[in-house]
Structure 1
Amino acid sequence: MKLDEFSPEEGALPESIAEDKTAAELQPVFEVPVSISAVLGRASVSVAQLLQLGQGSILELDRKVGEAIDIYVNNRLVARGEVVIVDERLGVTMTEIIKDGDAAA
């Protein structure tokens, strides 16, 4: 269907575009690998400072304790969350989903 074939009076997208996808229809994308990163904070250091870091060194990040961390999927900010401990391992719980255009906040 071409864009000029449906008029504003019809009020909705053509049925073939508007229907929701079911989980079964999305099955082909379930195996697509994605990269997930949970960013605790960032720091900027010179190469000389980097070379001086060793075990036990402290690197100050740009975040405060308790501040939400950023969660990226394929280098795109998608959520914010909190660090949690699950069975003596670190994890992340999502507390906010980032919609398109809200990432600058």
Structure 2
Amino acid sequence: MGLAKSMRNLTQEIAQGFDTRVAGLAALRHETATRLKGFRREMAGFRREFRRKAAAFRQLLQMGREARSRQVSDMLAGFDRMLAGFRQDSQAAAGHWRSMAAELAKRRASPAR
């Protein structure tokens, strides 16, 4: 009777292990399919963005020389404005952290109440 019970337990363990592996594979397949969908969605967005930029570039190439240089200078001015905004934001953040550090230093230096 002990051997039959051991065999039955072993069979159940094998079946449970197989079920666990099958469930794991199903979960892996589902995760892979989800990631693939996300990747395809992102790639579609990249393709749309690339087409839009290619059309803008074609349009820029078809412009006359004066219009093209005006367009490029407008783009560079916009880029400079964007960089100036980033610079201001980073300076503001640095000022904030400096004041926070000074406040913490004051609190540490003051005697405990």
Task: Please indicate the TM-score interval, normalised by the length of the shorter structure.
Answer: under 0.3
TM-score by length of 2: 0.18
Q: Identify the structure with the greater strand proportion.
A: 1
**Which one has the largest radius of gyration?**
2
Of structures 1 and 2, the one with the larger relative CO (CA 8 A, separation 6+) is 1
Between structures 1 and 2, the one with greater helix share: 2
